Amino acid sequence: MARVGVIGAGAWGTALALLCCKNGHEVTMWSALPAEIETLKADGQNKRCLEGVPFPKELHLTAEDEDVCTNQDVLIFAVASPYIRSTAKRLSSLIAKDQKIVSVAKGIEDDTLMILTDVIESEIPQADVAVLSGPSHAEEVGRGIPTTCVVGAKSRKSAEYLQNIFTSPVFRVYTSPDLLGMELGGALKNVIALGAGMADGLGYGDNTKAALITRGIAEITRLGVAMGGKKETFTGLTGMGDLIVTCASMHSRNRRAGILIGQGKTSDEAMKEVNQVVEGVYAAKAAKKLSDQYGIDLPICNMVYRILMENFPAKDAVLELMMRDSKPEHQDLWEE
């Protein structure tokens, strides 16, 4: 049994708290909002995010920073990506040396273009920071529907320790040393999912979706490898696997927002209707900056950026993408 603190009481934090409870760990879940904790206690479940899934009596709920941070074997950072730095800064003084922290948010910090594990490390340098990612909608994980994910850590020892914390009969966990590749895949797939949703909202079909997914992972891989990620990572669970589920599922807030934009709503109207943080909107800004910085062509990501930030009509996007200059699918095959 381990002591696990979950920082963030949204859908993903709740799902992982429930998973860790079922795995026999001693779990404390925290929110920065005392009123949210009181509501969760009164309801005995997270009605907003996982209605119908009761909390086990062993789950401890708190709004006190010290309660969740001290004497824990593992801390799970499950706040939305825009709040990772402020939360890490707030809690840093309470974090012990070599504390294992697992980042489970997906995004790239907009102004610094840092991956989220690096953001946490910059604010909590004394910690041992890892990442958990993969095809894992909270709505399914919280209900015990089987999936597989990956723990990324700098040392094999830390990765295998965390692998054992999370692994269950319904949650299989692999390990990887490629934190950069994992995090880029997890962040940029949200941009492609916005595009896939827009295509759905415009009434396009399965062929269009398959093309967006396939060419989307090609873009993510090009940029990821240029930045130092490993090509194999983007073909795996935290690349192609996460991309498929995010583009295909109605659990995906990014796809849902994209559908609304494809139907004619503005990005602000779509985010308001989805009523959750749409990570792909932030990731689209970062993707555009990274595309420019590394000189990597990201036609789908950049088109999503234009639709979101420059009011380019979604209905015109497919034609512009389809009529770009013709080229080989894999240039290196011709060079051989």
Active-site annotation, residues: 189
**Cβ(136)–Cβ(241) below 8 Å:** no
Q: Residue 42's Cα: distance from chain center in Å? A: 29
Q: Residue 259's Cα: distance from chain center in Å? A: 19
Beta bridge partners of 27: 4
Burial class for 289, CB neighbours closer than 10 Å (0-12, 13-18, 19+): middle
- How wide is the angle at C-alpha 259 spanned by C-alphas 256 and 262, nearest 5°? 155
**Cβ(152)–Cβ(26) below 8 Å:** no
Residue 75 CB-half CA count within 13 A = 31
Q: Residue 14's Cα: distance from chain center in Å? A: 15
How far apart are alpha carbons 146 and 259 in whole angstroms? 27
Look up tokens 């595009």; give the residue: 195
The candidate with the shortest Cα–Cα distance to 5, out of 101, 77, 75, is 75
Give me the DSSP letters along 299-332.
Answer: HHHHHHHHHHHS---HHHHHHHHHTSPP--S-HH
**Cβ(208)–Cβ(318) below 8 Å:** yes
- How far the first Cα of the chain sits from its last, in Å, is 54
The candidate with the shortest Cα–Cα distance to 192, out of 303, 320, 318, 326, is 303
How far apart are alpha carbons 148 and 138 in whole angstroms? 13
**Cβ(15)–Cβ(59) below 8 Å:** no
Q: Please state whether beta strands 128-133 and 171-176 pair in parallel, antiparallel, or not at all (unpaired).
A: unpaired
